[in-house]
């Protein structure tokens, strides 16, 4: 599938970022940041991994990719500013599990040794898994949460299940951050600075050439 066409038609339900004035401010802050970025949520070892993963999800072609658009910087600030402590802990635990499984599968000992090939293998493993495998991971995650809630004695951490949840969440957040980005909104999607009339029940191909509207 042509990547440009695919990204232009990504639906609104793909992610969970709510656009508020504070979030818009984060975008502007990321755009103006120097190259000496210091992450607020992820640590200095995790942030490069998150950046690589987001670039693999949204690589640069004729459209700027995640790194060029500073989406990793935005995501770090978004999680730090908007997420609850519980939400921050969940995504951190998922990322740690993702890295641990990647190190095990690649037979490496340090996260900074993981290559794009190693990380891409992990993304494909989770995001392209069959229905049965995904349901198995979801059940493991659910059972783990129930055990924690019931204060069971040290329930075993289902690392692959948590890594699967992280991969799904990161993809959703990356896509939504991409669609909300100022450059993408004004140059790739259908952008109308001053909205006019509203017309319902119209053919999207006729009105926008199949593109979704910019937020």
Angle, vertex CA 79, rays to CA 78 and CA 85, nearest 5: 140
Asked if residue 7 lies in contact with residue 181, where contact means CB atoms within 8 angstroms, the answer is no
Which pLDDT band, with edges at 50, 70 and 90, does 140 fall under? very high
What are the pLDDT digits (tens) for 150-170?
876 777 889 999 999 999 999
More confidently predicted of 13 and 129: 129
Task: Give the number of domains in the chain.
Answer: 1
The percentage of residues in the chain with a pLDDT greater than 70, rounded to a whole number, is 67
The pLDDT value recorded for residue 148 is 84
- 213 in a domain, yes or no? no
- 37 in a domain, yes or no? yes
Domain that holds residue 42: 8-188+199-208
* Length of the chain, in residues: 215
Reported pTM: 0.75
- 170 in a domain, yes or no? yes
Please name the residues in contact with 73: beta carbons below 8 A apart, sequence gap of 6 or more. Answer: 30, 33, 37, 39
């Amino acid at each position: 599938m042509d990547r440009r066409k695919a990204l232009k038609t990504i639906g609104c339900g793909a992610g969970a970022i709510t656009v508020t004035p504070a979030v818009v401010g984060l975008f502007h802050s990321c755009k103006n940041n120097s190259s000496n970025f210091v992450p607020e949520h992820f640590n200095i070892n995790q942030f490069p991994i998150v950046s690589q993963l987001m670039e693999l999800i949204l690589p640069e072609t004729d459209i700027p990719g995640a790194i060029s658009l500073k989406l990793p910087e935005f995501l770090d600030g978004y999680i730090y500013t908007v997420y609850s402590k519980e939400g921050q802990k969940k995504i951190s635990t998922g990322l740690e599990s993702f890295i641990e499984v990647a190190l095990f599968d690649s037979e490496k000992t340090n996260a900074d040794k993981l290559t794009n090939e190693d990380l891409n293998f992990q993304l494909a493993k989770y995001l392209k898994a069959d229905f049965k495998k995904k349901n198995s991971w979801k059940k493991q995650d659910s059972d783990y949460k129930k055990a924690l809630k019931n204060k069971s004695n040290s329930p075993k951490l289902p690392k692959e299940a948590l890594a699967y949840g992280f991969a799904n969440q990161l993809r959703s957040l990356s896509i939504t951050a991409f669609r909300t980005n100022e450059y993408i909104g004004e140059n790739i999607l259908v952008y109308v600075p001053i909205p006019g009339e509203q017309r319902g029940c119209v053919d999207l191909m006729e009105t926008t050439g199949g593109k979704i509207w910019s937020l």
